[in-house]
Amino acid sequence: MSDSQAAAGPTTTPGKDGVHRVRVLLYSDDVTTRDAVRAAAGRRPARDVEVASWHECATAEAVIEAMDEGGVDVVVLDGEAVPVGGLGLCRQLKNEIFRCPPILVLTGRPQDAWLAGWSLADDAVPHPLDPIAVSEAVAGLARSRVAVG
């Protein structure tokens, strides 16, 4: 995995209207989970955050390729994905990418929060997905991505 592309720092800045337009990478092997995340976050997870685009991946290899290409502001990884879970993938990305974009992991249950900590995730939301929790997490991570720069 290359450190240069994905590590280039924030790829988004607030527009003149104060809205952060972000590109979100979403990983799950389950299309219904991907649909649920997109529906929960919506196009506008917060007044000051707009999802400009979703890049969906069904395999870990596709995630790594997309991260190497760069241009990702927020990453959402399904911890329950198979054969490569989002928690292990999160830890790999955080260890291999300089200035890795913020990552939200979806855990199997609330008691798995310790796994999210182990994975070095910036935030976690348990299944079943609460739309408010997902939208708040995506918006918070989008704001933190911009603040890093």
The string of pLDDT tens digits covering residues 53-71 is 999 999 999 999 999 999 9
* Per-residue confidence (pLDDT) for residue 149, from 0 to 100: 46
Pair type for strands 20-27 and 74-78: parallel
Q: How far is CA 17 from CA 26, 68, 109, 139, in A?
A: 26, 30, 38, 16
Could you say which architecture CATH assigns to the domain 20-148? Answer: 3-Layer(aba) Sandwich (3.40)
* Per-residue confidence (pLDDT) for residue 146, from 0 to 100: 58
* Per-residue confidence (pLDDT) for residue 3, from 0 to 100: 44
Token pair recorded at residue 37: 């995340």
71: left (phi over 0), alpha (psi -120 to 50) or beta: left
Alpha helices by DSSP H, listed for 5-130, are: 31-41, 60-69, 86-96, 113-118
Distance CA 145, CA 93 (A): 16
CA-based nearest residue to 55, from 45, 44, 65, 40: 65
* Per-residue confidence (pLDDT) for residue 145, from 0 to 100: 78
Task: Summarize pLDDT for 92-146 with one digit per residue, the tens.
Answer: 999 999 999 999 999 999 999 999 999 999 999 999 999 999 999 999 999 997 5
* Per-residue confidence (pLDDT) for residue 97, from 0 to 100: 96
Which of 8-22, 38-52, 65-79, 100-114 is the least confident region? 8-22
Higher-scoring residue by pLDDT: 108, 9:
108
Token pair recorded at residue 79: 């911890």
What pTM was estimated for this model as a whole?
Answer: 0.89
On the question of pLDDT at 11 being above 80, the answer is no
* Per-residue confidence (pLDDT) for residue 32, from 0 to 100: 97
Token pair recorded at residue 3: 């450190």
